[in-house]
Amino acid sequence: MQANHSIAKQIITRHPHVLIGLEHLTDLRERTKRKKRRRKRNGKGTERVSPKARKANRVYSQWSFAELHALISYKAALSGALAIKVDADYTSKACPLCGHTSDDNRPKKGLLFVCQNPKCQYTLHADLIGARNVTLRTLLVRQDWIRTGYLSTAPDASDKEAKAARLSRYAELRWSPEVTQASGQRPEVVDV
């Protein structure tokens, strides 16, 4: 898809020489629901959705996320950047400030995130919450890489114990907009 090439090129051109965090998405098409029918206004029975909605459903189902990840990875390598995949589990349901994770943090499964921890109550768009959590996880992988010299470009999804340990470490991460590097600049991490 030409759109994927354009998106990948824009990301790499705008952010050369960085560590790019990508969500490790699996079974995405199976997890998303597309409306085929909707209730009639009088409440009796259903009717087909509009042709415009059907076209949108078709376009969404044809978009190749795996292709976009591959293009970003190879273009990143050519420009001196590095793209890695991090766990996507609970990225839009976990509060980046307090760590509270719950389905209730996404009222009505909408786009608004509201932390249900009474001491936090952090509110933000759910996609931005997900982006912050991917950023934190990317920084954690970077920290482990610096400490051990070992870098995994994708999380090991085969071992349930290793995954549980990673999720436990993620729960300890906290987002703080005040944190800066020693140079006084914020670290540049791109999340897609």
Tell me the DSSP string of 60-95. Answer: HHH--HHHHHHHHHHHHHHHT-EEEEEE-TTTTTB-
Token pair for residue 120? 């936090």
Across the range 97-107, mean pLDDT stands at 91
- The candidate with the shortest Cα–Cα distance to 170, out of 81, 109, 93, is 93
| pLDDT for 157 | 66
- The larger pLDDT score, comparing residue 113 to residue 39, is at 113
Count of all residues that appear for the chain in the document: 192
Beta-strand pair 112-114/123-125:
antiparallel
The yes-or-no verdict on residue 179 having pLDDT over 60 is no
The yes-or-no verdict on residue 49 having pLDDT over 90 is no
| pLDDT for 182 | 43
The yes-or-no verdict on residue 98 having pLDDT over 80 is yes
Mean pLDDT over all residues of the chain?
A: 79
- The larger pLDDT score, comparing residue 1 to residue 144, is at 144
Q: Residue 57: pLDDT band by 50, 70, 90 thresholds?
A: low
